[in-house]
Amino acid sequence: MSTGLIITLIVIAAVVVVGVGLWVALRRRRVRERPLAVAERARFEARWTAVQERFVDSPREAVGEADRLLGEVAVARGYPDGERYEQQLDALSVRHARHLDAYRHVHRMAREGEPGTEEMRAAMVEARALFEELVRPSRHDRDRRTPAARPHLPGAFNRRHPKES
**HSE (side-chain half, CA atoms, 13 Å) at 28:** 17
Q: What is the mean pLDDT of residues 113-118?
A: 86
C-alpha to C-alpha distances, 88 to 26, 73, 81, 138, nearest whole angstrom: 14, 11, 7, 19
Q: What is the pTM of this model?
A: 0.67
pLDDT(154) > 60: no
78-99 pLDDT per residue, tens: 998 867 888 999 999 988 999 9
Question: Rounded to whole angstroms, how far apart are CA atoms 144 and 133?
Answer: 18
Q: What is the mean pLDDT of residues 145-153?
A: 45
Structure confidence at residue 112 (pLDDT): 82
Which is more confident, 29 or 157?
A: 29
134-143 pLDDT per residue, tens: 999 866 555 5
